[in-house]
Amino acid sequence: MNDEKKIITKNRKARHDYYILESLEAGIVLVGSEVKSLREGRANLKDAYAVIREGEVFLIGMHIGPYSHTGYAQHEPYRDRKLLLNRQEIKRLSRKVTIKGNTLVPLSVYLKGGLAKVELAVAKGKRTFDKKDAIAERDHKRAMAKELQRRKIL
């Protein structure tokens, strides 16, 4: 089986808005037109999150656009999608999410060996000043790298 990952979409805001504590891979239960739509790259994780309901994990708010060649029977773009994890992983995630401030956030959706997968993370929300500190630190590193590059040229 081919283990090459073809990334469909990433949740770019997740790493900005959250501290990523742990991540894992989960399968997604999809209908046929959703898989075809993913292969076309019609997915968005902008406001998506995951919840644990009755011992199962569901992905909420993920948008998968309609497949371009579908006739009358199209899928619901924003429906809740079940994630495939084993019982021990769900229990471990459940314990971590019960801690105040922790949540389940999808980081990316990709195809691996012909199957749709989602990278799910246990994350803790950042506060506004934490985000500003991260931006300032990134700008400082960029300025240092630029200065080092300039001095190598001279």
Could you tell me if residue 132 is inside a domain? no
Could you tell me if residue 153 is inside a domain? no
Q: Higher-confidence residue: 63 or 3?
A: 63
Could you tell me if residue 144 is inside a domain? no
| Entry pTM | 0.76
For the four alpha carbons of 117, 121, 122 and 123, in that order, the dihedral sign comes to: negative
Tokens, residue 151: 């001095």
What is the residue whose two structure tokens read 């790259």? 41
We report the CATH number of the domain holding residue 70 as 2.40.280.10
Range of the domain at 10: 5-126
pLDDT tens per residue, range 14-46 = 888 888 888 899 999 988 788 888 888 888 888
Tokens, residue 109: 């959706």
What is the residue whose two structure tokens read 């934490």? 130
Could you tell me if residue 103 is inside a domain? yes
Q: Would you call 76 helix, strand, or coil by DSSP?
A: coil
Query: In total, how many domains does the chain have?
Result: 1
Could you tell me if residue 133 is inside a domain? no
